[in-house]
């Protein structure tokens, strides 16, 4: 135990969903290590560009400046390449669409945050009557070219702009499809954009794909990595940098956890029904009880999510959990101040509170309350984290 967690290469060949759902799985393909910053979003682009105007002159390619790319990471093809190469993600969407053409035949589809337009292309191939592909970044220009190159312009219309600002040429759509999930499910807060589109354009009895998303929690042994990432700051070349340790404790770490590190069961924290929920439902407090499956030490709690497409002929979806094939979302690790010496059968109980940050709703504030009243360890503590 105590191994440095694995890279984002496939660390588990398990095809079973750790949450007991019987998903139709994607084919077994390897995933390249994916490392990118999803934080920049087009909603801030205009303001930032105005602030920056005249300051950045470096020309990259045709008419793009380095500012375009710095402040709007979705404008660069690299992030789309990485998402497309996340085969768990992209193949699941493809299978959902191609294996359920009865959902799409002659239907009007809205693709919220279309990127390269990949989901729109799938929907067009599946027989959709028309697909509106809305994308706010510069990638919308590429999506238009891609649609033309694939001779699907009569079915797919790319609209460049924010969902919250564009006008659709139709009053209603039958299906909303989107890949909106961020790290820890809710980082980036694109879910609000999907809910906005749903409330504005979706017909009664329309379909949102995916329509369910669930957040889970488990606990891991992680001595070596905690030492490397957190305790490191206590003495750096002999100097006390523990003020940075405090910061590093507050920032959840997005990384891949080896399933051998898992010490407890997994607890479902929250399931969101995207077809019914309100924006406020993404703020919640959920209790948890994590029962140790062996005697070990616990250094961190680990959050991950799954998404489901329940309107398919057979339930489909994917998990980003440590026992499933790796995705670019990896898992989210929250280190604990205390090392919990837990005996098999004992439970770490507590609650997790999740809410968008008040100043920047794209960031997520997390409060963790946990306690262990065990034979060898009695601890009770509250910790605050911020995903940013």
Ligand X SMILES: C[S@@+](CC[C@H](N)C(=O)[O-])C[C@H]1O[C@@H](n2cnc3c(N)ncnc32)[C@H](O)[C@@H]1O
Of 18, 135, 179, 221, catalytic? 179
Of the pair 99, 351, the CB lying nearest ligand X is at 99
- Cα–Cα distance measured from residue 202 to residue 206, given in angstroms and rounded to the nearest whole number: 6
**Mask of contacts with ligand X, 75-94, x by CB under 6 A?**
-----x--xx----------
Distance (Å, whole) CA 209 – CA 84: 18
State how far the alpha carbon of 52 is from the alpha carbons of 67, 71, 75, 122, 161, in Å.
8, 10, 17, 38, 20
200: tokens are 């504005």
Q: Which residues between 146 and 205 bind ligand X (CB under 6 A)?
A: 162-164, 179, 190, 193
Min dist. Cβ of residue 43 to ligand X (A): 6
Separation between Cα atoms, residue 227 and residue 215, nearest integer Å: 27
309 closest CA partner among 89, 105, 35: 89
Helix (H, G, I), strand (E, B) or coil at 23: coil
Q: Which of 45, 123, 131, 134 touches ligand X by CB under 6 A?
A: 134
Q: How far is the CB of 357 from ligand X (least distance, A)?
A: 17
> Minimum CB separation from ligand X for residue 102, in Å?
22
Give me the residue whose beta carbon is nearest to ligand X: 113
| Burial bucket for residue 320 (CB in 10 Å: 0-12, 13-18, 19+) | buried
**Nearest residue to 386 (alpha-carbon basis) of 248, 283, 193, 268:** 248
Does the annotation count 38 as an active-site position?
no
x-marked contacts with ligand X along 22-51 as a string, rule CB under 6 A: -------------------xxx--------
Among 71, 74, 288, 305, binds ligand X (CB under 6 A): 74
Look up 188 and say whether it is catalytic. yes
| CA 134 to each of CA 112, 168, 204: distance values in angstroms, whole numbers, following the listed order | 6, 9, 21
Residue of the chain from 19, 96, 108, 115 that contacts ligand X (CB under 6 A): 115
Catalytic residues: 179, 188
Enumerate binding residues for ligand X (CB under 6 A): 41-43, 74, 80, 83-84, 113-116, 118-119, 134-137, 139, 162-164, 179, 190, 193
């Amino acid at each position: 135990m105590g191994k440095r967690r694995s890279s984002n290469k496939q660390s588990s060949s398990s095809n079973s969903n750790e949450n007991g759902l019987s998903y139709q799985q994607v084919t077994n393909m390897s995933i390249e290590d994916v490392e990118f910053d999803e934080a920049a979003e087009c909603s801030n682009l205009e303001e930032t560009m105005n602030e920056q105007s005249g300051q950045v002159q470096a020309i990259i390619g045709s008419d793009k400046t380095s500012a375009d790319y710095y402040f709007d990471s979705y404008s660069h093809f690299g992030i789309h390449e990485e998402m497309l190469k996340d085969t768990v993600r992209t193949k699941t969407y493809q299978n959902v669409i191609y294996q359920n053409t009865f959902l799409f035949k002659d239907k009007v589809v809205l693709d919220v945050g279309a990127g390269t337009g990949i989901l729109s292309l799938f929907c067009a191939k599946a027989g959709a009557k028309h697909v509106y592909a809305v994308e706010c970044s510069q990638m919308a220009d590429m999506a238009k070219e891609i649609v033309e190159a694939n001779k699907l312009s009569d079915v797919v219309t790319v609209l460049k702009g924010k969902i919250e600002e564009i006008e659709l040429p139709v009053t209603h759509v039958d299906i909303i499809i989107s890949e909106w999930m961020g790290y820890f499910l809710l980082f980036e807060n694109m879910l609000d954009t999907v809910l906005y589109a749903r409330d504005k354009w979706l017909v009664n009895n329309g379909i949102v794909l995916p329509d369910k998303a669930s957040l889970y929690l488990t606990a891991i042994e992680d001595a070596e990595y905690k030492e490397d990432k957190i305790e490191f700051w206590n003495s750096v070349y002999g100097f006390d940098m523990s003020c940075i340790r405090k910061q590093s404790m507050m920032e959840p770490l997005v990384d891949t956890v080896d399933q051998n590190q898992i010490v407890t069961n997994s607890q479902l924290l929250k399931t969101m029904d995207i077809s019914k929920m309100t924006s406020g439902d993404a703020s919640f407090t959920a209790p948890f009880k994590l029962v140790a499956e062996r005697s070990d030490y616990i250094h961190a709690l680990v959050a991950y999510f799954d998404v489901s497409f329940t309107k398919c002929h057979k339930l489909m979806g994917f998990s980003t959990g440590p026992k499933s094939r790796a995705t670019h979302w990896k898992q989210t690790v929250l280190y604990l101040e205390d090392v919990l010496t837990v005996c098999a059968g004992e439970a770490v109980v507590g609650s997790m509170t999740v809410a968008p940050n008040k100043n920047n709703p794209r960031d997520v504030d997390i409060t963790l309350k946990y306690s262990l009243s065990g034979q060898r360890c009695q601890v009770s503590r509250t910790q605050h984290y911020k995903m940013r």
